[in-house]
Amino acid sequence: MTERLQPGDVAPAFTLPDADGKEVSLADHKGRKVVVYFYPAALTAGCTKQACDFTDNLDLLAGAGYDVLGISPDKPEKLAKFRDQESLKVTLLADPEKKVLEAYAAFGEKKNYGKTVMGTIRSTFVVDEDGKIEHAFYNVRATGHVAKLIRDLGI
């Protein structure tokens, strides 16, 4: 398993398809701050809550200079359904091979209802304008996380 990322680390580069199959790279956002968040599965209660919270706060985050990218192991078709069904404005990216999840140490052992399972670890990273990790939050809660993030960033 990949070591957890720390502030100051270079953010692992990636290029993944969005909900429409268009390739999106972290490098596309160079010069801006980027919130990269990893979530287990589209169209589930917690992930819907989190994606809706990001969508509701997108203008606030964008106004403070942050782009938001949500990454899950879902395929683009499922992300398109998720986006359309929930009217999401966040850019959702597909990582079915889990290569980016693993690069960010956002895939591995986690507790689920008391059992240890392999899966996506709900995590959020703030990448600065130079591509370095500014904040790394692992095992975040779906509910209330966006509000806490906004407070932590001083927005």
Cβ atoms of 132 and 9 within 8 Å: the answer is yes
Q: What does the longest C-alpha to C-alpha distance in the chain come to? A: 42
Task: Identify the active-site residue in 47, 92, 94, 106.
Answer: 47
β-strand pairing of 115-120 with 107-112: antiparallel
Torsional sign, CA 63, 66, 67, 73 = negative
Tell me if residue 47 is catalytic: yes
3-state DSSP assignment of residue 62 = helix
Question: Which residues have a catalytic role annotated?
Answer: 47
